[in-house]
A = this chain, B = another copy of it.
Amino acid sequence: MKPTIMDVAARAGVSKATVSRVLNQNPQVKGEIRDRVLRAIEELGYRPSAIARNLATSRSNVIGLILPDITNPYFPFIARGIEDAAHQLGYSLFISNTDNDPKLEQDYINKMVEQQVGGIVLISSALDVAAVRQLTELKTPIVLCDRLIDGTPFDSVSIDNHKAAYEAVCYLISRGHKRIAHLAGPRNIQSSENRRAGYLSAMRDANLEPYISTGTFSFESGVELMGTVIDEFKPTALFASNDLLALGAMQEIIRRGMRIPEDIAVIGCDDILFGKMSRPQLSTISIPVYQMGVTAVQLLENQMTGGREGTVKKILEHKLIHRESCGW
C-alpha cells in the first residue's frame, strides 16, 4: 500500500501531528525534527492524500468547469484561461461537456457537488427555472461564464454582446453597405439573442431593412443557411453571430462563384483561430476569451474565500478586428 502519514511518523520517530505540521509549513517545528520528517517523507516516497485532507478540513482544492463542447473551437481558450488560473491558485480542475443539454448540465452539476468541488464555473446551456432555483439553494459557489442566465443571482463574466453586434453592423454600414443580412444562433442562448437584438437595433437606427436567418452555431449551419439568404435577400454584407457560421457562409458564397468582399462582405464574432487562416481572412469581433476564463476563476476564488458582497457581473471589452473579408 501507499505509505500514510502514520508510516512517516513512525519512520521519523514522531507523532503524526508533527508530520502534519511540517506538511502544512507550520513554522513551530524545530529544524532538526523537521529535517527528520522531511527525510522520512523522501525515503518513503510519501504523498499526502488530498481527499483525506479535504475530508478533515472540509474544504476542497478542486473546482469544476462545465461547458457545452470542448470540440467547438470557441471554448478551448476559455478553458485554458480557467485552467491556468485554477492551477495558479492551487486548484485542480474537473471538466464536463454538456452538448448543450440542460439535463446533462444539471447532472454534471450534481456530480460535481458530490465530488465536493469548492466551486463551479458554468458555461450554461440555459437551465430551466426549476433548475436555477435548485442551484441557488446550493451552497457551492457558482460563476457564470460567457453565457449568462437572465434574472439569476450568480456572479458572472461576459462581454456586451448587444453592443458588439451593434458595432459590427455599424462598421458594415460605414463601409457603404445597406443590404446587410444576419445569420443568427440558437434562440435559447442569451449571447446569441443579444447579438440578434444588437443587429436589429443597428439596422433600425440606420433605417435599413433587416433580414435574419436562424440556425445553430456551426459551420454546416452557415453553409446551409447562406444559400437561401443570397437567393431571398441578395445581401452585399453579412454579419454572422459567430465565426463558425461566418466561415460556413463564406464557403457557400465562394461555391456560388461570388467574391468576398467584392460581392458580399462578411464579419463574424468570436475570433476563433481559423478566422486568421481562412481565405479571405475573416473580419470579426474579438472576445477576450482567455481573460474571461481567468476572470471567472477570480470571481469564484472570491466567493470561496468568503469575500462576497452582492452579485458581481463583469463585462469585458471586445474589439473589432478588420481583416480581408470586409475589404481593404
With A73-B73, A80-B69, A80-B71 as known contacts, state yes or no: A116 contacts B277, CB within 8 Å: no
For residue A114, CB closer than 8 A to chain B, the reply is: yes
For residue A312, CB closer than 8 A to chain B, the reply is: no
How many whole Å from A32's CB to the nearest CB in chain B? 27
A274 to B277, CA, bound (A): 9
Q: Is the CB of B92 within 8 A of A93?
A: no
Q: Is the CB of A52 within 8 A of B55?
A: yes
With A70-B76, A95-B83 as known contacts, state yes or no: A113 contacts B47, CB within 8 Å: yes
A113 and chain B: residue at smallest CB distance:
B47
Chain A 32-73: CB-based contact to B (< 8 A → 1; otherwise 0): 000000000000010111111011000010100000011101
Within 8 A of B (CB), among A97-129: 97, 110-116
A70 to B97, CA, bound (A): 14
A137 to B83, CA, bound (A): 28
How many whole Å from A2's CB to the nearest CB in chain B? 6
Q: Is the CB of B71 within 8 A of A76?
A: yes
How many A residues have CB within 8 A of the partner chain? Answer: 49
For residue A315, CB closer than 8 A to chain B, the reply is: no
Chain A 175-200: CB-based contact to B (< 8 A → 1; otherwise 0): 00000000000000000000000000
Hey, which chain B residues are within 8 Å of A77, CB to CB?
71
A87 to B77, CA, bound (A): 23
Chain A 257-280: CB-based contact to B (< 8 A → 1; otherwise 0): 000000000000000011011110
